[in-house]
Chain A
Amino acid sequence: MTLLSPITAKAAELRSVFDQARAAPFFSGKEEQTEDLLAIRVSRDAYAIRVSEISGLTTDRKIVAFPSPIPELLGVAGVRGALVPVYSLAMLLGYNAETERTRWFALCGAEDPVALVFSDFEGYVRVPLTELYATEQKDVSRTHVEHVVRATDMVRAVVSISLIRKTIQRRCGNDGVSKER
């Protein structure tokens, strides 16, 4: 019985939180400026991406590879009824990530969506904007990081999806991938 008592307590806690959420008003009037972030892992390093910069999150999609001069382009996958190119976020961040798992897909952009894959999703965090700190981009490997944030008890680099997309567009433009599309 002592082994099952924590489970019972957890169920009671969940029930209480759910009830409080339904009982509280939607807006309290004192809204703090916050930023929603997805805590992820890329090649075992902690990163974060802004929820406002992605258009969706999904998992376990089949990637169909095709020949391409761009090594970061892993192939295409079917998401929400459309084929989207799938890029390795690890390789775009400069990692040698041939063995990186490709479980999580973050959709970026509404017009020409692309999917960035990464290995681990650690959670959804909401932090005050005051917790975001700008970084000096001196490191070449950190060109896609403009801010760092303290979340889930550790400091994470916030990957700028817009910079990633620019990089993708630049690579595609230089290599003529967009022309083929």
Chain B
Amino acid sequence: MWTFGRKIAAGFTLAFLLLLGIGGVSYRSISALTSTSQLVTHTHQVLEHIADVLSVLKDAETGQRGYVITGDEAFLEPYQTAIGTVHNVVKDLRQLTADNPNQQSRIDKMEPLVAAKLAELKQTIDLRRKGNIEETTKLVRSGEGKKFMDDLRLLLTQMEREERDLLKQRADEVATASSGAKSAIIYGTAFCLVFVMAAGFFITRSLTGQIGAAIRHVQSSSAELQSAANQQASGAKESSTAMNEITTTISELLATSRQIAESAQRVAHVAEETSSAARSGDTTVQKSHESVNSIKRQVDLIVTHMLDLGKKSQQIGGILEIINELAEQTNILAINATIEASGAGDAGKRFAVVADEIRKLADRVGGSTKEIRVLIEEIRAAVNTTVMATEGGSKAVDLGARQFMEVASALKQITELLGTTTAAAREIELSTKQQATAVEQVNVAVSNVAKAAKETEVSSGQTLQTAGQLAGLSRDLIRLIQANASA
């Protein structure tokens, strides 16, 4: 595909070549015309000199005749002037027709005639000066002078005719050259105009199409660029904000890393102390395990005794029921005795007193058995509670013993793990310090990135502005190539 410059250069080159051709043709035609014009001028000069030869001879003859007639020397002036110029005129004529052998031949014939005429005139004048008018008239009447003049006129007419023929021929050549030059100029100019217009039209159309497409592409691209710049500006703003937040977060992270390093150091220290404590705790747990086993045996013994106590209290409850029953029966007997005694009159009074005492005693025994039943129930409840609590305690002791074993095992494991923990804590401390250093570097890098994001935000704004200007420029270009375009 041809570039714009190549198309324009090709158009101008063709136009230049056409103009050059037209100029060349025109120059050649004008040169020919000029040359022909010079030849015409030369022919006119020749014709003038031919006429001058005749005119000078006529002047000389005129002077000769005036003198001959008047004898006045004043009439000889044209004769004298003619004598002085006739040879020069003939000489010039010879030079002017040097390239024409016919005319040279005629000049060769003309020069003796001129000399003879001049001699005849001189003879006449001399005779008149001498006062020999007869002789002078005779000589004039002899017609010798006229004959010379007639011959000269004939020669000069021939020369003039030839020159007139040449003049006609050169006029034709001038007309031909002029017509060729006109045709070359008119047709060449017309062709050149047509060509230039066609080239201009095609180049303009081609350029308009291509430039228009390119401008529309640029316009579309500038719109996309504007949109992208908008997004980029928005993204850059968000990035800037995010970077600020990240910077803050990293600062906090840095502080946290330092705290973690310090904590890890403390953890390592505490882990060492805990390891020592765990080792001593292991010994203590072993001793406690033995004590717990002893407690378990004691608790089992207590449970046995308490179960016996529960059985005994049940037996006491049964006996107490019997006592209560006896007391109630005694009370009823005493009441009946009292009733019977009251029916026996005075004799029964003493018996009534005894019966009353028995009834009171039975009442008190009944009340006491109730209290004792309550106490026995409390004892049984307490025994049951104690048994249950003791059994629970026994189970708890069992569980405790197992847990002590687990604790001992766990303590051993803790001791081992604490060694690992100490090493890990030291590694964490070291790693955290390295991490803190890395975070510092990251902080610096993020600060730089934040700065770059800020600059990107500014650059995005400038890009947006440039994209806007580019879009405006595209619209202006579209208006330039499409006058009716409104985009």
Q: Do A and B come from one complex?
A: yes
- Taking a contact as CB atoms under 8 Å apart, the answer to whether B331 and A124 are in contact is yes
Contact B339 A55 (CB under 8 A): yes
From 150 to 169 in chain B, residues with beta carbon under 8 angstroms from any chain A beta carbon are: none
B173 within 8 A of A: no
CB of B363 within 8 A of CB of A123, answer yes
Q: Write the nearest CB–CB distance from B312 to chain A, whole angstroms.
A: 12
Given A3-B378, A7-B372, A52-B342: A26 touches B353 (CB 8 Å cut-off): yes
Contact A21 B357 (CB under 8 A): yes
A10 with B371, Cβ < 8 A, contacts A18-B361, A51-B338, A124-B359 known: yes
On whether A124 and B357 interact (CB within 8 A), knowing A3-B378, A6-B371, A7-B375, the answer reads no
The answer to whether A3 and B379 touch across the interface, beta carbons within 8 angstroms, is yes
Known A-B contacts A3-B382, A7-B375, A124-B331; the reply to A14 vs B336 at CB < 8 A is no
B 306-338 binary contact with A (CB < 8 Å = 1; else 0): 000000000000000000000010011001101
CB 8 Å contact bits of A50-73 with B (1 = contact, 0 = none) = 011011111100000000000000
**Least CB separation from A126: chain B residue:** B356
* Measured CA separation A59–B364 after assembly (Å): 19
Is B106's CB within 8 Å of the partner chain A?
no
- A38 at interface by CB-CB < 8 Å: yes
Q: What are the residues of chain A within 8 A of B364 when measuring CB–CB?
A: 13-14, 17
Given contacts A10-B372, A52-B342, whether A57 and B335 have CB atoms under 8 Å apart is yes
Which residue of the partner chain B has the closest CB to A20?
Answer: B357
Chain B residue contacts of A26, Cβ below 8 A: 349-350, 353
Distance to closest chain A CB from B115 (angstroms): 204
Distance to closest chain B CB from A109 (angstroms): 12
Residue of A nearest to B335 (CB): A57
- Tell me the residues in window 358-372 of chain B with beta carbons closer than 8 Å to chain A beta carbons: 359-361, 363-365, 368, 371-372
> Are A124 and B361 also in contact (CB < 8 A) when A3-B378, A7-B375, A51-B342 are?
no
A59: nearest chain-B partner, CB-CB: B332
A36 within 8 A of B: yes
Given A56-B339, A124-B335: A14 and B361 interface contact (C-beta under 8 Å) = yes
| Contact partner, A14, options B350, B357, B359, B365, Cβ 8 Å | B365
Do B368 and A14 touch (CB < 8 A)? yes
A43 to chain B, nearest CB (A): 22
- Selected from B332, B335, B363, B375, the residue in CB contact (under 8 A) with A6 is B375
Contact partner of A51 (CB less than 8 A), chosen from B335, B353, B372, B382, is B335
CB distance from A82 to the nearest CB of B (A): 15
Contacts of B338 in A (CB 8 A): 36, 51
Q: Are A57 and B371 neighbours in the complex by a CB distance under 8 Å?
A: no
Contacts of B382 in A (CB 8 A): 3
| Nearest A residue (CB) for B372 | A7
Q: A124–B379 Cα gap in the complex (Å)?
A: 30
Contacts of A21 in B (CB 8 A): 357, 360-361
- Complex formed: what's the CA distance from A147 to B364 in Å? 28
Q: Which residues of A contact B363 (CB under 8 A)?
A: 123-124
Partner among B339, B350, B365 whose Cβ is within 8 Å of the Cβ of A54: B339
Residue among B331, B332, B342, B379 with the highest chain A CB neighbour number at 10 A: B332
A75 nearest CB across to chain B (Å): 22
The answer to whether B372 touches A38, judged by C-beta atoms less than 8 angstroms apart, is no
CB distance from B340 to the nearest CB of A (A): 8
With A3-B379, A3-B382 given, is the CB distance from A57 to B332 under 8 Å? Answer: yes
Question: Could you tell me the distance between the alpha carbons of A74 and B422 in the complex, rounded to whole angstroms?
Answer: 93
Q: How far is the CB of B380 from chain A (nearest CB, A)?
A: 11
Q: Which of chain B's residues 338-353 have a Cβ closer than 8 Å to chain A? A: 338-339, 342-343, 349-350, 353
Kindly list chain B residues whose C-beta atoms are within 8 Å of the C-beta of A27: 349, 353
Contacts of A36 in B (CB 8 A): 338
Within 8 A of A (CB), among B387-424: none
Inside 8 A of B350's CB, which chain A residues have their CB?
Answer: 26
The minimal Cβ–Cβ distance linking A49 to chain B, given in whole angstroms, is: 11
Enumerate A16-51 residues with CB–CB distance to B below 8 Å.
17-18, 21-22, 26-27, 36, 38, 51
Sample of 28 A–B contacts (CB below 8 Å): A3-B375, A3-B378, A3-B379, A6-B371, A6-B375, A7-B371, A7-B375, A10-B371, A14-B365, A14-B368, A17-B364, A21-B357, A21-B360, A21-B361, A26-B349, A26-B350, A27-B353, A36-B338, A51-B335, A52-B342, A54-B339, A55-B343, A57-B336, A57-B339, A58-B332, A58-B336, A59-B328, A59-B332
Known: A26-B350, A57-B336. 8 other contacts (CB 8 A): A3-B375, A10-B368, A14-B361, A21-B357, A26-B349, A51-B335, A55-B343, A57-B332
Which 3 A-B residue pairings sit nearest by Cβ, starting from the closest?
A21-B357, A10-B368, A26-B353
